[in-house]
Structure 1
Amino acid sequence: MIEQLREAVCGLHAELVRYNLVAWTAGNVSGRVPGEDLFVIKPSGVSYDDLTPASMVVCDLEGNVVDGAHAPSSDTAAHAYVYRHMPEVGGVVHTHSTYASAWAARGESIPCVLTAMADEFGGEIPIGPFALIGGDDIGKGIVKVLSGHRSPAVLMQNHGVFTIGASAKAAVKAAVMCEDVARTVHVSRQLGEPLPIRQDDVDRLYDRYQNVYGQRSSR
């Protein structure tokens, strides 16, 4: 199971590059090992072109390295904190994607003015507190903001995007969609004031997307 997850997490980093969510070695994906108090995460400072399943690092839920030849991501403590306090989370992603990070730099939530936002995020994409990298303060901010919130994404002030999901792939999808709507809402505000969506319509859109949309057997 760990080797399969190493392969999956490694492959998902290519999606961050594919969707232009990262630059140089910034950003990371992690995935919880099912049934174990372990997760797999990207090594620190290694080029995306050089990532391999073997270079992924296995950590316990305190952020200690259990297996791997590399030092883990500098965001490991944040990921570990999320896994410890949100047992439903199976994957965590961090990016500095341009438009979403621009909202984070302003310390501003992205308002729910698109049906795609209602579908995926169930409302606004919230802003989280400023926190320094390296310890678990970022993780504390993520958990505080996203616990009980529909959104799988949070914009950490002056930093960037963190997303969660039932799997690492779901968290990557949330990061992709977060950047997509951040860009569109930004452009909309250059043209004028975006029109809000009524809360009852947001609720209906979210319910339809989460419970009806797509091929149910594959979700």
Structure 2
Amino acid sequence: MTLVLADLPRATQRAVAETRERVAALHAELPRNGLVVWTAGNVSERVPAVDRGVPGLLVIKPSGVSYDELSADAMVVCTLDGKKIEDGTPAALVPSSDTDAHAYVYAHLDHVGGVVHTHSTYATAWAARGEEIPCVLTMMADEFGGPIPVGPFAIIGDDSIGRGIVETLRDSRSRAVLMQNHGPFTIGKDARDAVKAAVMCEEVARTVHVSRQLGEPLPIAQGHIDSLFDRYQNVYGQPAAGAADQPSQEA
């Protein structure tokens, strides 16, 4: 039986509306940061669970629609098995072709609240070679905790890509995976966090590529990678309201 958004509790309807607003706005960051062309790429976010008994939901862009037309009302709502609900959008407006991959990630990684896929040039070039991006930058140690790994080759059309993402990232500190011959997928605590990871993934892919044109990049010792990752994840930035003063950090 297909879920009907209008029949769900008011709190869930509000959560869906707010998630649609966030996801629509964050899609603008992909072309702004040069991560996509035409209608490629997608951002999704898990809808917060605010009512008991309501199945898990996600919001994602519709397939093949121009970024200029991605309003909140156009965002598609799906269950965590990738099926569109009756969400007020036209029946002909189908979700992204990558929806099954996103849904599989949410269904199998409870800590993930946002997923992003792009075909950004440099990260996709590494994926085409089936080569992980080595951790030779402190920025990479900070953000990804090590190299950005390569996931298996998989065809769009079912949850095969999602399985590859989960298998690759389940035991990894990286929030990005280069799906072989396809491109990068990133995860985060929410959609904004996953978009940030996508931007950073492309930046380090480009920088390491340029470095290799000049010679072999110098490795970073694992102990330093671990220390940098711990500092960035747990100390960097402004302290939470009411927290004790933190030492100053780099910009």
Tell me which amino acid in the other structure corresponds to 1:102: A
The C-alpha deviation readout for 1:54-94, integer Å capped at 9, x for no partner, is: 00000000100012321000000000100100011000000
> For 2:216, what is the secondary structure of its paired residue?
coil
Q: Which residue of 2 aligns with 1:2?
A: 16
Tell me which amino acid in the other structure corresponds to 2:109: M
Tell whether 2:223 aligns with 1:200.
yes
Offset, 1:134:
1.5
Q: Which of 9, 13, 27 is the equivalent residue of 1:13?
A: 27
Summarize the alignment of residues 19-30 of structure 1 with structure 2, pairs less than 5 Å apart.
19-30=33-44
Q: Distance in 2 between matches of 1:57 and 1:15?
A: 18
Q: Which residue of 1 aligns with 2:142?
A: 119
Q: Which of 74, 90, 107 is the equivalent residue of 2:97?
A: 74
Q: Which residue of 1 aligns with 2:8?
A: none
Q: Distance in 1 between matches of 2:191 and 2:111?
A: 12
Q: Which residue of 2 aligns with 1:153?
A: 176
> For 2:240, what is the secondary structure of its paired residue?
helix
Q: Distance in 2 between matches of 1:54 and 1:2?
A: 11
Q: Distance in 2 between matches of 1:41 and 1:53?
A: 10
Tell me which amino acid in the other structure corresponds to 1:20: G
Tell whether 2:125 aligns with 1:106.
no
Q: Which residue of 1 aligns with 2:58?
A: 39
Q: Which residue of 1 aligns with 2:82?
A: 63
Q: Distance in 2 between matches of 1:146 and 1:136?
A: 15
What TM-score do the two structures reach when normalised by structure 1? 0.98
Higher relative contact order (CA 8 A, sep 6+): 1
Tell whether 2:112 aligns with 1:89.
yes
Offset, 1:116:
0.1
- Structure 2 alignment gaps of length 5 or more: 1-14, 50-54, 242-251
Tell whether 2:101 aligns with 1:48.
no
Offset, 1:22:
0.2
Q: Distance in 2 between matches of 1:57 and 1:158?
A: 27
Q: Distance in 1 between matches of 2:166 and 2:231?
A: 26
Tell me which amino acid in the other structure corresponds to 2:24: C
Q: Which residue of 1 aligns with 2:7?
A: none
Offset, 1:148:
1.8
Q: Distance in 1 between matches of 2:24 and 2:144?
A: 26
Q: Which residue of 2 aligns with 1:183?
A: 206
Tell me which amino acid in the other structure corresponds to 2:41: G
CA RMSD of aligned residues (A): 0.8
What TM-score do the two structures reach when normalised by structure 2? 0.86
Percent sequence identity over matched residues? 70
